[in-house]
Amino acid sequence: MYQLLIAQLKALTEDNPYRISNLANASALIYDSLEQVNWVGFYIMQDGKLILGPFQGKVACTQIEVGKGVCGTAVSTGKTQRVDDVHLFEGHIACDSASNSELVIPVYKDGEIFGVLDIDSPIKGRFSEEDQAGMEALVKELEKVL
């Protein structure tokens, strides 16, 4: 499934120099392709914090400090955060009370963290190691067009 998603992302982003368009299409592609997710989107680093970018789902938090919540932790550690139960994650920021698990992947541009891909699910333990590896590969493809 993830190889197909990556191929679709390539088709959507090749020859498109517009970063926001690429992020918007990527969030829509992921949201429409993954089952049991209720939010997919990007937070982009700006002025030393994460600012809400293109997304699919309910309204969301507009700013997240580095080191705060799952997204801010992904930035501060530079590592993917796969959380089976967000209610057990100290400092979790609840933008949507229906979210129970989360997968957050740092996105890099020119060796620096550009932002994060954030995926939420109402199902506890929704994201597997395979999901993590697949989404990390998709992010690597997306990084090529940033």
Long-range contacts of 25-32 (CB under 8 A, 24+ apart): 26/54, 26/117, 26/138, 26/142, 27/54, 27/55, 27/56, 28/56, 29/5, 30/5, 30/56, 30/117, 30/119, 30/135, 30/138, 31/56, 31/57, 32/56
- The pLDDT score that the predictor gives to residue 136 is 98
Report which DSSP code applies to 49.
E
What is the chain's Cα-based Rg?
14
User: Judging by DSSP bridges, how do beta strands 39-46 and 112-121 pair with one another?
Assistant: antiparallel
Percent over 70 (pLDDT), the chain: 99
pLDDT band at 125 (very low <50, low <70, confident <90, very high): very high
Give the mean pLDDT of 78-101: 87
Model-level pTM?
0.95
pLDDT grade for 90, boundaries at 50, 70 and 90: confident
